[in-house]
């Protein structure tokens, strides 16, 4: 049997959370940006998505292969549970009743996984955005590129992320 001993909704929720964390880290997006994504926003063949950031500005984000794999499985499971939920206009991330997941729900669900993994509860989805930026800077990406990827209007906002990289260099 496809689902084994795990109820289909629980299997969906586990894949959903996996996909959320992969997409957050892969794109460097804000939680509100990924909560608003629909299947029509995802370009699996290119490994990209377009998100609408602050000030209704759109930007292109890269989706790594682990994020794409998790999303493909998620879409398949969603379609089995809630027919129509895999269509282009449907939200990516759904709650256990098939409705759109809120940013608050994403934050709370991360706390559940942090507790289960014995990790510090002060970690947040926004910390994945910081990790995305810091890892890019540590790998040699220039500040302007990171600014574009994060959707920052001002370079000074992006520079907040450089203190971690400078500390690592020292």
Provide the annotated active-site residues. Answer: 30, 54, 126, 129, 152, 161
What single DSSP character describes residue 58? E
To which H or E segment does residue 12 belong?
helix 8-27
DSSP 90-130: SBSSB-TTSSBPPHHHHHHHHHHHHHHHT--TT--HHHHHH
DSSP 3-state of 9: helix
């Amino acid at each position: 049997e496809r689902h084994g001993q795990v109820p289909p909704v629980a299997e969906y929720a586990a894949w959903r959370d996996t996909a959320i964390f992969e997409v957050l880290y892969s794109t460097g997006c804000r939680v509100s940006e990924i909560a608003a994504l629909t299947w029509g926003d995802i370009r699996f063949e290119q490994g990209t998505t377009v998100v609408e950031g602050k000030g209704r500005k759109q930007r292109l984000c890269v989706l790594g292969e682990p994020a794409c794999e998790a999303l493909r499985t998620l879409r398949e499971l969603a379609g089995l549970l809630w027919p129509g939920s895999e269509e282009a206009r449907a939200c990516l991330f759904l709650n256990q009743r098939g409705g759109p997941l809120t940013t608050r729900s994403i934050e709370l669900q991360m706390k559940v996984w942090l507790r289960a993994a014995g990790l510090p509860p002060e970690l947040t989805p926004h910390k994945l955005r910081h990790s995305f930026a810091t890892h890019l800077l540590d790998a040699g990406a220039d500040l302007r590129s990171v600014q574009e990827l994060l959707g920052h209007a001002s370079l000074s906002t992006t520079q907040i992320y450089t203190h971690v990289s400078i500390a690592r260099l020292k």
